[in-house]
Amino acid sequence: MNDAVFRDNVVVLTGASAGIGRELALQLAGRGAWLALAARDVGRLEEVAEECRERGGRALVAPTDVGEEAQCRRLIDRTMAEYGGVDTLVNNAGIGMWARFEEITDLSIFERIIRVNYLGSVYCTHYALPHLKRNRGRIVGVSSLTGKTGVPTRSAYAASKHAMAGFFDSLRIELMGSGVTVTMVYPGFVATGIRERAFGADGRPLGEGNSPVREDEVMTVEECARLIERAAAERRRELVMTRRAKVGMWLKLLAPRMVDRIARDAIERGK
């Protein structure tokens, strides 16, 4: 990969305070990117921004709840005021859930997840798009393997990621010939801590120490961010991260019931 791809490249990155977003911010900063870091937790954003500056990047802290359209517009406006353009938009902000549908007692989690995971990407992309078109920029959507196939206990999350995939696949076609590329990323389980913040059946976060996944047996956040950076730099159409997932995509065409069983077993094993 050309190390100069992201030098002085203005990158708007949502969900930048933790997990994949934080690590991606640090790696991009090491490439000399100019970052607009968005998330709700101002304190954590400030910490990430300082680390980015130490690595040689520029960093703007832009507290943002992507579920609110006005805040997404303000994020792009602040980025333009600070840097004068937008070259790359990484729609990474997300929130999860972990409960069987029949056990859910607070159905508002469906709306909350859709607003963050799907509509947040729509809002940010809408306001960034005119600037991205001027610069022949990049759009990256960080989805999930649940955006390719549904899995048990993740119904609201999978629905939001399917919506995200459909939106960006449609947008990619609309943007053909514009110079703006769309890269969709489909990670599997990554050791990010997102599951501890995920909604349970009662609409409350699962909490620290209650992750249903064996966090020490899944992809590291460093590897995940490295793969995303490379896919974005190369303007790839999509990135399905694991060999097992790639095989699963073919199996879904040939033996969909087998994929259902594989998805169920993966959730039960937590890896």
Q: In what order do the strands lie in the sheet with 58-63?
A: 58-63, 34-39, 10-14, 88-91, 138-142, 181-186, 238-240
Label residue 100 exposed, middle or buried (CB < 10 Å: 0-12, 13-18, 19+): exposed
Residues with catalytic function: 157
Query: Is-contact 11 26, C-beta < 8 A?
Result: no
Low-confidence ranges of the chain (pLDDT < 50): 210-211, 215, 271
What are the sequence ranges of the domains in the chain? 10-242
Query: Is-contact 35 11, C-beta < 8 A?
Result: yes
**Three-class secondary structure of residue 85 per DSSP:** coil
Determine how β-strand 58-63 pairs with β-strand 10-14.
unpaired
Q: What is the pTM for the complete model shown?
A: 0.87
Confidence (pLDDT) at 55: 97
* Assigned fold of 10-242: Rossmann fold (3.40.50)
Confidence (pLDDT) at 262: 67
Q: What's the CA gap between 208 and 118, in Å, rounded?
A: 25
Confidence (pLDDT) at 218: 72
Query: Structure tokens of 132?
Result: 């991205």
pLDDT digits (tens, 9 = 90+) for 39-55: 999 999 999 999 999 99
